[in-house]
Structure formats: structure tokens, C-alpha cells
Amino acid sequence: MQHILTREFALEADANDPLKDYRTKFQLDDPHLIYLDGNSLGVLPRETVGKVNHVVEYEWGQRLIRSWNEGWYHRAEEIASKIAGIIGAREDEVIVADSTSVNFFKLAWAALKIKGERKGILSDTLNFPSDIYLLQGLADMVGSSHNIKLAESDDGIGMNLSALEKLVNEDTALLTLSHVTFKSAFRYDMKQVTRLAHEKGALVLWDLSHSVGAVPVKLNNCNADMAVGCTYKYLNGGPGAPAFLYVRRDLQEKLQSPIWGWFGADNPFAFGLQYAPAQGIRKFLAGTPPVLSLSALDTSLDLISSAGIDKIHSKSKDQGQCLIRLFYHFLKPLGYSLGSPKDPEMRGSHVSLRHKEGYRICKALIDPDIGGKTIIPDFREPDNIRLGITPLYTTYNDLYETVMQLKAIVEGEWFKKFSDERDMVT
Amino acid sequence: MQHILTREFALEADANDPLKDYRTKFQLDDPHLIYLDGNSLGVLPRETVGKVNHVVEYEWGQRLIRSWNEGWYHRAEEIASKIAGIIGAREDEVIVADSTSVNFFKLAWAALKIKGERKGILSDTLNFPSDIYLLQGLADMVGSSHNIKLAESDDGIGMNLSALEKLVNEDTALLTLSHVTFKSAFRYDMKQVTRLAHEKGALVLWDLSHSVGAVPVKLNNCNADMAVGCTYKYLNGGPGAPAFLYVRRDLQEKLQSPIWGWFGADNPFAFGLQYAPAQGIRKFLAGTPPVLSLSALDTSLDLISSAGIDKIHSKSKDQGQCLIRLFYHFLKPLGYSLGSPKDPEMRGSHVSLRHKEGYRICKALIDPDIGGKTIIPDFREPDNIRLGITPLYTTYNDLYETVMQLKAIVEGEWFKKFSDERDMVT
């Protein structure tokens, strides 16, 4: 596939891309910007501007409190039903609420409670730190003899399922993993992992933050127990958009939220003094849903559904393989290494390239004085340059130009212009 | 003060109102709408439209992930510092995060943890049910011998401090109350209650949802321990806007959040695998802050600060007294009763009027076919018509017209047009 290595091929691939029209649905007007950070904060869908404005000016501004009766009360469920369609779940198994951290807390606590006699909590060192922190907090909270084990990756990139299997046993209450890991983009086989946990009687909680919207997620098909996920990455919901959670239908009765807020109560507007949980997935709500942010999610979910997650994933895999071939050809000789699995079936939708000068290279990529364009990846300690592929708007030419710039920065030692001292928060 | 009883007096009072110009800062363009539900959902400040749009189109749309470095990372603290100025707290004692329910959960849990040997949790039957539900959940969670006592109000309107005092003892871990109660608007003397709890060694958690922005709150002056509050009522932050929490400076070290999310960690972007809490109030953050909703708060907080909470309260009290005099003159003879304290020093900023046909009367008030205007109060079971006074935009004439309409609805039996079956969620 030598032809990938030219700009001409990249432009031809873009011209033939069946999803190419979707890029126009996003606000990407700056010709000097290449944005490869949709895995951290998705780009603004154009229609979201009008939708948010409608919520502010009409629903809030004009209809005021009446909007609760005219749509807000069920908005968290409506948005959730669109997410359900993307993650292979039934509509009544998903709700949008709170942040990923708070939702993770609720479900992990609920799992530990019903598995009370078991004391083992299992995750891995590739997991997003917030999830690990929350587990540490839960272990501190439930006290006593709970223990957290983190399966170690051999190469810092992927996990051998047998390594995980060894750690799951009859004492394991909860296994929780990122479906796609945040740094290396390693993607777990959800079905197999779920099966091996279930064989030992453990529950599994998946964090879909780095997979939802970019790779297929088939919760029901995998018999998944619980999941949480973020909506401001590939779901393009905007900064700090509310998260979602999933609980398989037959588990909903058994699991209980620790946070008995009124929106999770059976009839919040009866204002009785004794809590009774709502029926079904609503009981995992806590406070009043964030209506503005909820509404900002709508457009992007429709775009993803209309494009189809399989087509999105197919382009993601192809772009990832192009990027990796470019890496081998141009970047490996310059000290870069691949921080992600080569096999697209074991990868999510971003590719990490590692370099000992990774931080300074990121700064050079972003600086428009170097090469004439602002190229935005993100950096993850200690040396990962994450290049996010969002198939609805990432072009092949974006990837080509980025690789050329990564090459030029090291060849010209342009990264030396920058301090290695960390001053970016993300 | 007979002159209050005429429209002329109401119009004159509006003309002389020192805060009258603030009304133009809010989107209240419909001449056929009287909005008395700012205690449930505040009106949209005009400038908020542009501010939200700027966050969507520029900060998210154009600056994308760079906005985390350019302002988002500290936005929860910046907005919180403006709230701190309104509630008599130091800037480093307040943070904006999550919902009121989630914040209440965090602080109540933290209080029970450090008061481990004490098993008593005390609140009252006037409190907002969500807070009671959360306490019930916490008691269920920490298990064992925790008990919840609810002080009972004699008249369903107010609470005798001695009734409360009798229930506080050496076993009380936590006393938690609404500063202003949601139904009757009874306002506690924060200083006295805090003192009586402290005398027995208990911690106090205040819910400021129905007081913040409308009545003075002086947390430091009262030596308050902890507080939470809602921002979409008198703070006009929009539907489901994020809530805030306060922890007195010297308690911050001792109290610990149960939800160890990454934004409450010491250095979230170092991505280490061992949680360490952030210094100070930031440790009570959990997930990624909801940037859109946070930003929507800004305009209103500036308006409140510029008007001054004392002037706002002074007008609130005056309007409340006018409304109550109108009630005595026109409504009491028609079967209405006063569901709020008469004394403005014992009341927040809404007035509840009760009537056995309260629900149907509310529906008639809202219906523009009856009287030509849409008048929006809200209804709270079993018979409370809540009339919210938001001094920045409520006019004396709003109150006059509303009372006239309440009178006409009962005199003409117009409420009979409506079903008594509950179909409003709020």
C-alpha cells in the first residue's frame, strides 16, 4: 500500500470517502487547523448552536417553568434512548445523568453491595485514573477487607486476557475496565471478558468513554452488566456534557443507587418524606438533570445514528491503518514508537505515538509558527502523543499532514524551541 | 397602609422602586405573562444568551480543547467566588459542581464519617424531600445504628427552635436543614441553630437552595460548617444548572469526599494511579465540570452582586408584606389561608397561600383564557400556591394583579373548569 504515502493518495481517499459530507456538519472553518483531539473533546456540530440557543431563548426564556411539562422531564430518557441505539442496548437500559465519575461511583457501589460477601475489586493499570481513584474511594468507604487488584500490562499497550483471567476468582465482586483504554487505545473483547468474569460470578462495569461513538459497542449482545460513558468525546456533546449509564434490564431491580436524590425517586413531585426508588433505570438519576447540556447532545447523536456506527468504525480502522503505515515509513526512523495496538480489531479510534520528546513535539505541532498550521493532538504522560480519529470529520489529509509535520519537527529539532515544563492541563 | 390595595399604589411603588431597572436585564417581553416562579426556575437574564452562545461558538467551536488552558479549568472556582460573595463566605470555601443532591450526599457522608461514633442524624419535616431521601440512603449505606429524626412543625409552617433543641444531643452527628423551607418559606435563624448544634458537638449542613440570591446568607458570620445550594432558582442559572457547596476553611482538611473523581484529585492531568485529594475546596469536585451550564451562571451573579443582596432583600420583604396585606384584605374571606410566616424576618422570598382548591386555582391562574393573562405560580401538595418574589424582576403590580385574579377565580368559581387530577410535574 505504498500509495498511502503521498498527499495525492490522501486527497483521493478523502474524495472517495462515503462519509465525507458529514464533515460539513461540524464547525471546522479554520483552514489552518487540523484537529485530532475528538477523543478528548469532540468538535461542535453546526446545528448544536441553534439547538442550544432554542433551549436558552425559547424553552427557558419564553416557556420558563412550563418547559418541565413540555419536554424537560423526559429529556434525559429521550437522549438516552438515542445513545442506547449506538451502544447496543435497549432504550430502558440507559439514562443520561451526572458525570462519568459520579455514575461510575453509583454503579460500582451498587455492585459491591449486592456482592457483599466477595471482597475483590479488579481493574487494570491501563484504566482511566478517575475510575481507579473512585475504586480506591469505595474501598476506603466500605472499609474492612476489600482489595483492589490491577492487572498489569506487559508492554503498557495491551492486556493479555489470560493475565486478567488469572486474577478473577470466586472472591471477585467487580471487574471494571475501560472498553478502549485512554492512553494506548487498546480495545478489550467485551464479550470474552464479560464471559470470563461471569464464569466466576463477578459483575462487570465497562467504561465506554473512549469507545462510544467511534467503535461498535454491543452491550446486550455481550450480556454486559453495567456501563458508564462520556458524551463529550466522540459523541460531541460539548465541554463537561452529562454522562450516561447502562444497567442490564434484569439487574435493575437488584441494583440500588447510593445517592437517593429526588429525580431518582418514584414520584419526585409528590414531595413525600419517604424515599421510594423510581421504576427501572430512572432510579439511577440523582438531582435535576442539566437541561442545557442534555439538549446539546441531540444533534450529534442524530448524526452518528444516520451515518451508522459500522460505517464510522470502518473508516476509523482504515484511517488508523493509514496512519500506522505512515508512522512506520516516516516516523519510526526518527525515534517515534507505536503506543497503540497495530491490529485494528484490538484498537479504538485513536493512535498513540510515543517519543521521548513527546511533550515538546506536541507543543510544536500546536504552534502555527511551525509549519503554518495548528495541529491539535493531545499529550498523555510520559511520552504519548495521542492522535484522535473521528471519522465524521477527520480527513485522510489531516493524518498525512500531521505525520509530515511530526517528521519535520524532529528532523529540524523544532521542538527545542519549547520548554519541557508541563503547563498544559490537557 | 390601605393604599397598597389599589392598582395606583402598586404602579407608584414600581415607579419608585430603586431596583426597577434590573427588570429590563431579564427576558420578560410577554406583556400577558406574570411570572411568580423564580423560586423554582429563575428568568433568563438577557446577557446570558450571548454568553452561552460565546461559550458554544467561540470557546468550544473555535478554541476547542485549548479552552481548558484558556479558562475552563478554573471556571468552577471563578463562578464559585462570585457565589461566595453572595453567601458571606471566603472565595476558597465554595465550589460549583454536580447537582445539589450529589453535593448534599458528599458533605453529609463526610460529616457522618468524621463523627463516626455519633449515630444521630437530625432534620425536620419542612425540609426538601430530596435531602431527606439522601439521608435515608446514607443511613442505609452506613448501616448499623444510625437513626434519622425529623423535628415536626406544629403548624406545618414554621419551627420552634426549642423543638429542634430538644432533639439535638451528644449523639447527634449531623443537623441538616433548609435555610428557607421550600413549601412555607420559613427561614431559620442560621446563627442560633448553628450555635445550638455546635454546643452539642454536632455539625450543621445548610441547604441554601431557597434562600441564596434572595435573602442574606452569612455563612462565616454564623460559623456555618457546610452548605449546599441550587443555582437555577434565585440565581437564574437555567434549568438544571450546576449546584454549589461550601465547606468552612478549617473543616476542609478534615472532611473527605466519598466520590474520588479525577477533578477532585491533586493533579488530574498527571494521570497517576494513586488518588490524592486536591488541596482545599477543589477536592469536593468529582467529574469534569459542566462548562456550558457553569458559564450560564455568570451574568446573573453579576447582576445580583451589583444590585446588592441587602437591597434585594429589602424589596423582597416589602413586596412580601404587601402581598400578605392583599391576602388579608381580599383572599382570606374567600377560603385562602396563609401558608408562610407573617414576619418577614422569619420568611424567605416566596409566600405560600393555601386553599382547598389550590391545585385547580393554579391551573386557572396559568390559563390565559381566564382573565387574559398567564400567571405562573407553582403548586406544592397538598394545597399550597407558591408565589415567588424575585426582587430583580417582580413588580408590585404583578402581585396586585395576581391577588385580583386569585380573588376572581374563587368568586367566579372558574377553577371548576379544571380537573383536580395531577398532571403537572412542577
A353 pLDDT higher than 50: yes
Report the gap between the CA of B212 and the closest CA in chain A (Å).
17
CA angle in degrees (0–180, nearest 5) for B43-B45-B49:
115
- Which residues of chain B make contact with A183, given a CB cutoff of 8 A? 271
What is the structure's pLDDT at B5? 73
Choose, out of A35, A56, A135, the residue to mutate when testing the contact with B (most B CBs < 10 Å).
A56
Would you say A260 and B134 are in contact if contact means Cβ atoms under 8 Å apart?
yes
Spatial separation of the C-alpha atoms in residues B245 and B237, rounded to whole Å: 15
Q: In sequence order, which ranges of A174-271 are alpha helices (DSSP H)?
A: 190-199, 249-252
CA dist A299 and A235 (Å) reads 10
Q: Are A123 and A176 in contact (CB under 8 A)?
A: yes
**Looking at the whole model, is its pTM more than 0.95?**
yes
Cell of B257: 469526599
Between CA A414 and CA B384 the distance in angstroms is: 70
Q: How far apart are CA A384 and CA A379, in angstroms?
A: 6
The answer to whether the CB atoms of B102 and A287 lie below 8 A apart is yes
Distance (Å) from the C-alpha of residue B3 to the closest C-alpha of chain A?
Answer: 32
Q: What are A148's three cell numbers?
A: 483492589
Contact B134 A261 (CB under 8 A): yes
Half-sphere exposure at residue A180, Cβ-oriented, CA atoms within 13 angstroms: 28
- The separation between the first and the last C-alpha atoms of chain A, rounded to the nearest angstrom, is 35
- C-alpha distances out from residue A160 to A209, A291, A400, B107, B183, Å: 21, 42, 32, 41, 58
> How does DSSP classify residue B380?
E
C-alpha cell at B305: 452582586
Q: Give the model's pLDDT for residue A145.
A: 80
Residue B240 φ/ψ region, left for φ over 0, alpha for ψ in the -120 to 50 degree band, beta for the rest: left
Strand-pairing partners, residue B376, are B35
The pLDDT of residue B423:
80
Q: How far apart are CA A285 and CA B170, in angstroms?
A: 35
Rounded to the nearest angstrom, the minimum Cα separation between A336 and chain B is 22
Cα separation values, B357 from B43, B387, B409, Å: 27, 16, 10
Rounded to the nearest angstrom, the minimum Cα separation between B291 and chain A is 6
- Name, in order, each residue with C-beta under 8 angstroms of A410's C-beta and a sequence gap of 6 or more: A331, A334, A335, A336, A355, A357, A361
Contact A27 B57 (CB under 8 A): yes
Searching chain A, which residue's CA lies closest to the CA of residue B76? A240
Contact A66 B376 (CB under 8 A): yes
Q: Are B6 and B13 in contact (CB under 8 A)?
A: no
Distance (Å, whole) CA B16 – CA B11: 9
Q: Do B53 and A48 touch (CB under 8 A)?
A: no
Q: Which of A30, A56, A238 sits opposite B49 (nearest CB)?
A: A56
Question: DSSP assignment, residue A65?
Answer: G
Q: Considering only the beta carbons, identify the residue of B56, B66, B239 that sits closest to A60.
A: B239
Q: Which residue out of A57, A64, A359 would a mutagenesis test of the B interface target, given it has the greatest number of B Cβ atoms within 10 Å? A: A64
Write the pLDDT tens digit of every residue in A151-189: 999 999 999 999 999 999 999 999 999 999 999 999 999
CA distance B126 to B337: 18
Provide, as residue numbers in chain B, all residues whose Cβ is less than 8 Å from the Cβ of A366.
Answer: 66
Best to test chain A binding among B39, B260, B362, B423 (most A CBs inside 10 Å): B260
Q: Hey, which residues of B are catalytic here?
A: 128, 207, 232-233, 386
Residues A334, A339, A340: CA angle, nearest 5 degrees: 130
Chain B residues in contact with A71 by the CB 8 A cut-off are none
- Mean pLDDT value across residues A414-420: 95
Q: Do A296 and B296 touch (CB under 8 A)?
A: no
From A240, A290, A426, residue closest to B269, measured CB to CB:
A426
Question: B35 to chain A: which residues are within 8 Å by CB?
Answer: 64
Catalytic residue ranges of A: 128, 207, 232-233, 386
Cα separation, A183 vs B270, in Å, equals 12
Residues of chain A found within 8 Å of residue B48, distances taken between Cβ atoms: 56
Please tell me which of the candidates A137, A273, A275 has its beta carbon nearest to residue B258: A137
Partner residue facing B73 (CB), from A30, A261, A425: A425
Distance in angstroms (rounded) separating the CA atoms of residues B314 and A119: 58
What distance in Å separates the CA atoms of residue B141 and residue B135, rounded to the nearest whole number? 9
> Rounded CA gap, A30 and A37, in Å?
15
Interface test with A, best of B288, B362, B366, B367 (most A CBs within 10 A): B288
Can you state the angle between helices A46-54 and B46-54, rounded to 10 degrees? Answer: 160
All three cell numbers of B308: 446588592
Residue B306 DSSP code: H
For residue A420, count CB atoms less than 10 angstroms from its CB and return exposed for 0-12, middle for 13-18, buried for 19 or more. Answer: exposed
Query: Using a CB-CB distance cutoff of 8 angstroms, which residues of chain A are in contact with residue B378?
Result: 65
Interface contacts A/B by beta carbons within 8 Å: 285
- Burial state string for A317-333 with b = 16 or more CB within 10 A and e = fewer than 16: bbbbbbbbebbeebbee
For residue A143, what pLDDT is reported? 75
CB contacts, 8 Å: B243 with chain A: 287
**Backbone dihedral region of B47: left (phi > 0), alpha (psi from -120 to 50 degrees) or beta?**
alpha
Q: Chain B partners of A66 at a C-beta cutoff of 8 Å?
A: 366, 376
Query: What tens-digit pLDDT sequence spans chain B (426 residues)?
Result: 445 678 999 999 999 999 999 999 999 999 999 999 999 999 999 999 999 999 999 999 999 999 999 999 999 999 999 999 999 999 999 999 999 999 999 999 999 999 989 999 999 999 999 999 999 999 999 877 889 999 999 999 999 999 999 999 999 999 999 999 999 999 999 999 999 999 999 999 999 999 999 999 999 999 999 999 999 999 999 999 999 999 999 999 999 999 999 999 999 988 999 999 999 999 999 999 999 999 999 999 999 999 999 999 999 999 999 999 999 999 999 999 999 999 999 999 999 999 999 999 999 999 999 989 999 999 999 999 999 999 999 999 999 999 999 999 999 999 999 999 988 666
Q: Out of B43, B258, B273, whose CB is closest to A141?
A: B258
Place of cell 444548572: B241
